[in-house]
Chain A
Amino acid sequence: MKHTVSVLVQNKPGVLARTAGLFSRRGYNIESLTVGVTENEAISRMTIVVAGDDTVVEQVTKQLNKLIEVIKVSDLTKESYVDRELVLIKVTADSSNRAEIMQIVNIFRARIVDVAPKSLIIEVTGDEGKLDALISMLKQFGIKEIVRTGTLALGRGPKVIQSGKD
């Protein structure tokens, strides 16, 4: 089972190494990790997707909370949340199949951001299901490269994650 964990941290040098290091040394599997500053520039938010059962995620949460620079950890999987990822996909394309690819791109509300005689770059955002579906549709044309941002997530509704530990 995958869990999406949102972590507010103090925006200080070394905090990313501390957090990522925790995962490797305790043997937890990170599927993806993204980090960027929040509305308050002294604070960054990490979105971490971890694979593991509830006990593993409980340990992950507790161990993260022990890091001095971690202000707040919440497991979004326990509530309703929105998650998005951005992917750039370079596919092999020429005049014979470009139209077909563009049709698929439109269906998925993706965008073409670069065109060359023998390739295209497609930009798409969405949740995991949508991205996987598009990628599998594009496989037949030949995918040359993929780059993904990793998952970003926010809880739904007016509630916010306060930057104070409970």
Chain B
Amino acid sequence: MNLSGAKALMKSLECEHVDTIFGIPGGVVIPIYDELFNQEAITHYLVRHEQAAAHAADGYARATGKVGVCMATSGPGATNLVTGIATAYMDSVPLVALTGQVTTDLIGNDAFQEANITGITLPITKHSYLVHEASEIPQTIKEAFHIASTGRPGPVLVDIPKDVQTMSARFEYPKKVHLPGYQPTYEGHPGQIKRAAKAITEAHRPVIYVGGGAKISGASEEVRALAETIVAPVTMTLMGMGTLPAEHPLSLGMLGMHGTKYANYAVTESDLIIAIGARFDDRVTGKIASFAPNAKIIHIDIDPAEIGKNVRVDIPIVGDVKRVLQKLIPLLKDTHTKEWMEKVQTWKREYPLEFGETGLKPQYVVREISRLCPDAVVCTEVGQHQMWAAQYFSHRHPRNFISSGGLGTMGYGFPASIGAKIGRPDETVFDLAGDGSFTMNCQELATAVAYDVQVKVAIFNNGYLGMVRQWQELFYDRRYSQTKLSEINFVKLADAFGAHGIRVDSPSEVAPAIEEALAVPKPVIIDFRIEPEECVFPMVPAGAALNEIIDAKNGG
């Protein structure tokens, strides 16, 4: 069967069971959009900025575990995707970005709206393709989805010149991929698993340190089983939150720069760190030389390049964490953690997360959202509110906390929440936002209203680029250089787009506002006018060791 490149692309996407695309058309992708016009299997969401297309596809992917798909035209359309692709790359999110390109005879000529997008995205994609012939499309799409979603997932970009979209070629969707250079290791080495089991059995002060890899692998049950079998505390990175429910007695919450004191103390005094799908990022380890100084380290990860990158590892296990844990757990025998658990529980009692009571506290707002919508999918922007969302929401489910961890992209959360809600329409989806971050992609209110995607945005409105202001307060002598934000009437903004807006000034209005937001069948913005100079604590100052953690009493 002969098909045009654009038709072949649609057919290929169908073969990959794609039903959702986020994008914006433009000159060189009109043939593709013309094909979209004809078919029903795929819903295209027209966003208002390509960055939001990438973030929405990313949020969709994180919420569902499926591959997210976004599309843009050449040149500015493609370059607008860049931040979204980089965000997905840093957090290992399966994404396929489709871009149009100028016709093959013009490539390299600085043609109108030409940008070398495969070159620009080289360091932020898992792989990329510039398609030269319509006949390459089925194979390329097959490979792109395979690469994006297997091994350590990541974004793949497919750049398709306009003439390739219109030329015709034989269509046959391949059944298999042949990628001799790409064979991820899924099964852990049995000898290494045995060594790990021995080290665990011998440990007295083990800590399980869980990253985003555990979610990707779907290993929540296994992490819980490991923790309960050996009776060891579990701490999670921002990306790992929800792997073990926050209420679980063995959970220590988050570790690192804004982690709990007890998680950071436990890691520092541990004699065995069991790292699961985590990568020892500097926000997690603090001063690397003082990270778990007396501990052996077991590192389980599907990406061999992560092992030994930042810390020395005693027992590396390359493999899919779920499969490795399934092999490891049956080998474990009695452990000697009774004393250790007593110590950890004492820390937990002695150093709980706490906040003051004056005015409208952001931590209180997060707790109320958590109380009223415990099973909501929570997306965040980047800043103080992101850390409060991590600390004070009682995370229960692995795919319910969606946040830009590696890149820290302001403007991520709102479009991601739209993608998440489209992926899981029956669930409550919140974006916990900063007033600064939200305005970076607030144009997407138009998208949410147009498609009736009923996300609820809670703006933690402190009138500042709060996280930067906090650093200025603590480390730059309160010189608030360029961090004060001008006033925005978010209720009117919501109104202008046809969404619903609510303003909250005092603690007593918090719960009724959340209830109203849930009840109104529209996208909703709640403008929480929080304490403007509240800080995120506890905090490990940049470059300090994890146990040099400060709080409001000794830091602020």
Contacts and interface: CB of A to CB of B under 8 A. Distances in A.
Contacts of A118: none
B179 A68 contact: yes
A70 B181 CA distance: 5
A78 interface: no
Interface stretch (A13-21, A92-100, A146-154): A13-21
Interface stretch (B8-16, B119-127, B240-248): B119-127
A163 B305 contact: no
A136 interface: no
Contacts of A65: 304-305
A66 B305 contact: yes
Interface in A54-105: 55, 58-59, 62-63, 65-72
Contacts of A67: 181
A25 interface: yes
Interface string B275-309: 00000000000000000000000000001110111
A62 B122 contact: no
B309 A59 contact: yes
A32 interface: no
Interface in B146-203: 147, 179-183
Contact of A17 (B122, B183, B303): B122
Contact of B305 (A21, A62, A69, A165): A62
A57 to B, nearest CB: 12
Given A14-B118, A21-B123, A68-B147, A163 B303 contact: no
B301 to A, nearest CB: 11
Contact of A69 (B119, B122, B181, B309): B181
A131 interface: no
B146 to A, nearest CB: 10
Contacts of B308: 55, 58-59
B501 to A, nearest CB: 43
Nearest to A8: B181
Given A17-B119, A17-B122, A59-B309, A10 B180 contact: yes
Interface string A93-121: 00000000000000000000000000000
Contacts of B123: 21, 25
Contact of A66 (B128, B303, B307): B303
Nearest to A70: B181
Interface string A1-27: 000000001100110011001000100
A165 B183 CA distance: 7
A46 to B, nearest CB: 13
Query: Interface extent on B, as a size class?
Result: 20 to 34
A163 B122 contact: no
Contacts of B180: 10, 71, 163-165
A59 B182 CA distance: 17
B130 interface: yes
Interface in B498-526: none
Contacts of A25: 123
Contacts of A17: 119, 122
B444 to A, nearest CB: 31
B119 to A, nearest CB: 7
A60 B127 CA distance: 18
A4 B39 CA distance: 54
A67 B123 CA distance: 11
A18 B183 CA distance: 18
A69 B128 CA distance: 11
Interface string B307-348: 111000000000000000000000000000000000000000
A10 B181 contact: yes
A129 to B, nearest CB: 32
A67 B127 CA distance: 8
A21 B122 contact: yes
A52 B309 CA distance: 14
B309 to A, nearest CB: 6
From B179, B182, B183, B307, residue with most partner A Cβ within 10 Å = B182
B307 to A, nearest CB: 8
B304 A62 contact: yes
Contact of A59 (B118, B183, B305): B305
Contacts of A165: 180-181, 183
A166 to B, nearest CB: 9
A135 to B, nearest CB: 35
17 contacts: A13-B130, A14-B128, A17-B119, A17-B122, A58-B308, A59-B305, A59-B308, A62-B304, A62-B307, A66-B303, A67-B181, A68-B126, A69-B181, A70-B181, A72-B181, A164-B180, A165-B181
6 smallest beta-carbon distances between A and B, as pairs: A62-B305, A71-B181, A68-B127, A25-B123, A68-B182, A70-B181
Given A10-B180, A14-B130, A62-B304, 17 more contacts: A9-B181, A14-B118, A17-B119, A18-B122, A58-B308, A59-B309, A62-B305, A62-B307, A63-B305, A68-B126, A68-B179, A69-B181, A71-B180, A163-B180, A164-B180, A165-B180, A165-B183
